[in-house]
Amino acid sequence: MAEHTTDLPDVSTLTIGILGGTGDQGRGLAVRFAAAGHTVLIGSRSAERAQRAAEEIGARGADNATVAAEADLVIVAVPWDGHRALLESLREPLTGKIVVDCVNPLGFDKQGAYALPVEEGSAAQQAAAVLTGSRVVAAFHHVSASLLLDPSVPGIDLDILVLGDDREATDIVRALASRIPGARGVYGGRLRNAHQIEALTANLISINRRYKAHAGIRVTDV
Amino acid sequence: MAEHTTDLPDVSTLTIGILGGTGDQGRGLAVRFAAAGHTVLIGSRSAERAQRAAEEIGARGADNATVAAEADLVIVAVPWDGHRALLESLREPLTGKIVVDCVNPLGFDKQGAYALPVEEGSAAQQAAAVLTGSRVVAAFHHVSASLLLDPSVPGIDLDILVLGDDREATDIVRALASRIPGARGVYGGRLRNAHQIEALTANLISINRRYKAHAGIRVTDV
């Protein structure tokens, strides 16, 4: 136990942008970061839709490009389908910024969820390949949107694995993750090991089905 | 929380065979299962080497083929390199048996560990492809050999994810996992989602390095 969240940077003043922020995962993260005192910008293809989603949770809404330009740190919570195209369109406004990818490339059939192959290795590596001027970090893959969105759930019993090759950026995202009550940001490895963290979401879906749970993971001895 | 270990079958009388049982992972599991009262057979290419390793821990040692034939349940703990060839050679004695694969196909370089691609998807799927007459289950990927082998560690703070397509077989292996003090066997999905569980070992190695820990995982809300 060499390191604790108390050693992490102060991120309390960061403006957080969430691309694809009208989906469950995006809104769930937005609610918790807004509750933690952050200015949160919800992005969507449609500014109007973003504004409607934002109003409900005391955030601001705008189109994805505006959010990418105005936020200090940007979370990518779009469906896997539109992942590459969206990031290609936002290369310029995202330059120099920390971009946190939480996208899980999954397929679904009668037997449940399974991991989709990704040419670059993982969604996070695809983001890094497209956004060569950004500091790409992978995190927030396993947090249950329904728990995030449930106001009767005060804290979330979860470690948020934070992966990346830029130590300062992963520390910032670990600090941000730890601002979700109950959660803790834990370094989880380099970006080349992001695929299995994204794919693990398929296992958590299987676990949820079997145990009728909202499963998360905790890392022991850390 | 629909299911608890108390609902699991009684596995206390199973004879456990460990192929590649002279390695750290194999010996570590052998020590704990022997301590839990199981008859444990340690297998190796060399019967003599197996016998030497077995003596230290109150188990019996034999060549892998003998162990495959005599054990009720067989754990595959060989290096990834020899995985396919060993299983091909043991198809017949393993027919009808539960075969638990705990092999992690990993590469290592200066930046640490990373997941190797596997033609069949994962080591466990390769085992299932080779051992068409066996009941292949994947489990015990994340348990630290050094904790298993350390007599001063009374219990291991860990959930052991158990994957497979045969419900009865995964329940038996969950019950077996739960006989390691402190550990709990948790269903973790179908065999097609085994790759990311094997690959997650690379992330745990990164975590161990960063935090100077013996990290494991726990599944929350289950």
- The minimal CB distance from A1 to the residues B157, B213, B217 is found for B213
Least confident interval from A4-18, A95-109, B105-119, B163-177 = A4-18
- Please tell me the pTM assigned to this model: 0.96
Residue of A nearest to B114 (CA): A193
Q: Sort strands A40-44 and A60-63 into parallel, antiparallel or unpaired.
A: parallel
Could you give the CA distance from residue A20 to residue A27 in angstroms, rounded to a whole number?
Answer: 9
Q: What pLDDT was estimated at residue B7?
A: 82
Contact B199/B115 with Cβ under 8 angstroms?
A: yes
Work out the pLDDT band at B2, boundaries 50, 70, 90. very low
Residue A15 tokens read as: 């403006």
* B90 phi and psi angles, rounded to 5 deg: -115, 15
Distance CA A172, CA A174 (A): 5
Contact A211 B195 (CB under 8 A): no
What six digits make up the tokens of B34? 């022997």
C-alpha distance from B139 to closest chain A C-alpha (Å): 13
Report the relative pairing of strands B158-163 and B183-189 from DSSP bridges. parallel
* Start-end of H helices in chain B: 24-35, 47-56, 64-70, 83-89, 123-130, 145-149, 167-177, 195-211
| Diameter of chain B measured on Cα atoms | 46
Confidence of residue B6 (pLDDT cuts 50, 70, 90): low
* B187, B190, B202 ranked by CB distance to A111: nearest: B190
The whole-number pLDDT of residue A7 equals: 83
pLDDT above 50 for A2: no
With respect to residue A216, please indicate whether it lies within any of the assigned structural domains. no
Alpha-carbon span A67 to A51, nearest angstrom: 12
A11-66 confidence digits (pLDDT tens) = 999 999 999 999 999 999 999 999 999 999 999 999 999 999 999 888 999 999 99
Residue B175 corresponds to which amino acid? A
Out of B114, B157, B192, name the one closest to residue A114 (CB).
B192
Asked if pLDDT for residue B4 goes beyond 80, the answer is no
CB A142 within 8 A of CB A217: yes
Interface test with A, best of B196, B201, B209 (most A CBs within 10 A): B196
Whether B189 maps to a domain, the answer reads yes
Average pLDDT over residues A104-127: 98
d(CA A85, CA A79): 11
Q: Which residues pair with A62 in a beta bridge?
A: A43
Nearest-Cα distance to chain B for A162, in Å, is 11
Interface contact A207-B215, CB threshold 8 A: no
CB A175 within 8 A of CB A7: no
Q: A174-183 burial, b for 16+ CB within 10 Å, e for fewer?
A: bbbbbbbeeb
> Which of the four pLDDT bands, split at 50, 70 and 90, describes residue B1?
very low
Q: How confident is the model at residue B58 (pLDDT cuts 50, 70, 90)?
A: confident
When divided into structural domains, chain B yields a total of: 1
Whether the CB-CB separation of B175 and B10 falls below 8 Å is answered with: yes
Domain that holds residue B156: 5-211
Whether A217 sits inside 8 A of B216 (CB atoms) is no
Residue with tokens 């409607």: A52
Tell me, what's the pLDDT at A58?
A: 86
For residue B6, CA distances in Å to A57, A185, A200 come to 43, 33, 26
Q: Which residue of A has its CA nearest to B147?
A: A221
Helix (H) / strand (E) element for B183: namely: strand B183-189
Residue A70, in any domain of the structure: yes
* pLDDT computed for residue B28 by the predictor: 96
pLDDT at residue A211 in the model: 97
**B2: chain A residues, CB-CB within 8 Å:** 210-212
Q: Note whether B216 and A201 are within 8 A (CB).
A: no
- CB–CB contact B189 A112 (8 Å): yes
CB A7 within 8 A of CB A178: no
Tell me: pLDDT of B38 over 70: yes
For residue B108, which residues of chain A lie inside 8 Å, CB to CB? Answer: none
User: Taking Cα atoms as reference points, which of A42, A48, A46, A106 lies closest to residue A75?
Assistant: A42
Mean pLDDT of the A137-160 span? 95
Percent of chain B whose pLDDT exceeds 90: 95
Residue A159 in contact with residue B213, Cβ under 8 Å? no
Decide if A90 is inside a domain.
Answer: yes
Residue A219, domain member (yes or no): no
Closest CA relative to residue B20, chosen from B92, B93, B98, B100? B100
**Mean pLDDT (whole number) for B150-156:** 94
pLDDT tens column, A175-200: 999 999 999 999 999 999 999 999 99
The terminus-to-terminus CA distance of chain A in angstroms comes to: 5
| A32 φ, ψ (degrees, to nearest 5) | -75, -35
Q: Cβ contacts of residue A214 below 8 Å, gap of 6+? A: A144, A146, A147, A208, B221
Q: How far from the centroid of its chain's Cα atoms is residue A110's Cα?
A: 27
Q: What percent of chain B has pLDDT over 70?
A: 97
Residue B134 lies in a domain: yes
Residue A220 lies in a domain: no
**Residue recorded with tokens 């996992």:** B177
Question: Residue A3 pLDDT more than 60?
Answer: no
Which tokens hold the place of B204? 């745990």
CATH number at residue A50: 3.40.50.720
Neighbours of A7 (CB within 10 A): 10
B189–A207 C-beta distance less than 8 A = yes
CB-based contact B220 A222, cutoff 8 Å: no
Cβ contact (<8 Å) for B213 and A111?
no
- pLDDT at residue B222 tops 80: yes
Shortest Cα distance, chain B CAs vs residue A136, angstroms: 17
Nearest residue in A to B106, CA atom: A193
Please list, in sequence order, all residues whose beta carbon lies within 8 angstroms of the beta carbon of residue B216, skipping any fewer than 6 positions away.
A219, A220, A221, B142, B143, B144, B156, B157, B158, B159, B204
The nearest alpha carbon in chain A to B183 belongs to A220
Q: Which stretches of chain B sit within 8 Å of chain A by CB? A: 1-3, 111-115, 157-158, 161, 163, 186-190, 192-193, 195-197, 199-200, 202-204, 206-207, 210-222
Q: Which two tokens stand for residue B37?
A: 């009262």
Average confidence (pLDDT) over B194-216: 97
| Band of pLDDT at residue A1, cut at 50, 70 and 90 | very low
ipTM entry: 0.95
On whether residue B221 sits in a domain, the answer given is: no
Residues of B with CB below 8 A from A158's CB?
220
SS3 B22: coil
Mean pLDDT of B68-87: 97
